[in-house]
Amino acid sequence: MSKVNKKEFNRENLLNQGVTMLMEQGYHGTGLQEILDAASIPKGSFYNYFGSKENFGAEVIQHYINPFIAQLTTHLQQSETDALGAIRRYFDELILELERNEFKGGCLLGNLIGEIGDTSEICRESLQSAVGRYLDLLQSGLAKAQQQGTVRSDKSAKEMADLLLNTWQGALLRMKIEKSSTPVRQCCKDLLEDFFKP
């Protein structure tokens, strides 16, 4: 493995470990040494990659959201004529994954917003960026569904994307304490199959 490839592999490994550990233990509950041990990387190398735990946290946030953006993008691209159906199928997949994981974790963004959203400026900006990227994609999907006539047009796509994300995040919190997918299923049913309809 070349030096560049090894460096990228180590960096990716650290980010993957970061997502797992921050999801399980939170930002403050996760020590740098734990992450380094799990990734089998010496402490000095960590600072070459990220500089600080805060910078690492900010990059973990972006690393976490990227697959969700890719997954939703794929659904929207595969369902050019049914954007609302694509959004529904995307959330159905998320719910099945939450059920497979027995409702543990929820959403790393929601967890970190509650834990460090107002105490770390670097992480707050990364959270805001990740949420913004996700909202933009939801908004474009809902706007396409409006053009297709499957979503109401008396509300803006932005208002509906905000409502969907805010309701989903609240439903994820209830899901964790109830150990049930009922809140997230109800969120999707009430919004995507009722309130958003023309």
CA 98 to chain centre: 13
How many whole angstroms separate alpha carbon 197 and alpha carbon 156?
Answer: 13
pTM summary value: 0.90
Percent of the chain with pLDDT over 90: 74
> Residue 191 pLDDT > 70, yes or no?
yes
Is the separation of the CB atoms in 150 and 89 below 8 Å?
Answer: no
Q: Encode pLDDT of 118-163 as tens digits.
A: 888 999 999 999 999 999 999 999 999 999 999 999 999 999 999 9
Q: Which CATH superfamily is domain 1-51 in?
A: Homeodomain-like (1.10.10.60)
Q: Encode pLDDT of 152-175 as tens digits.
A: 999 999 999 999 999 999 999 999
In this chain, the answer to whether the domains covering 1-51 and 53-195 adopt an identical fold is no
Report CA dihedral (48, 54, 55, 57) to the nearest 10 degrees.
Answer: 110
Fold of 53-195: Tetracycline Repressor; domain 2 (1.10.357)
How many whole angstroms separate alpha carbon 160 and alpha carbon 178?
Answer: 26
Domain boundaries, the chain: 1-51, 53-195
How many whole angstroms separate alpha carbon 169 and alpha carbon 110?
Answer: 6
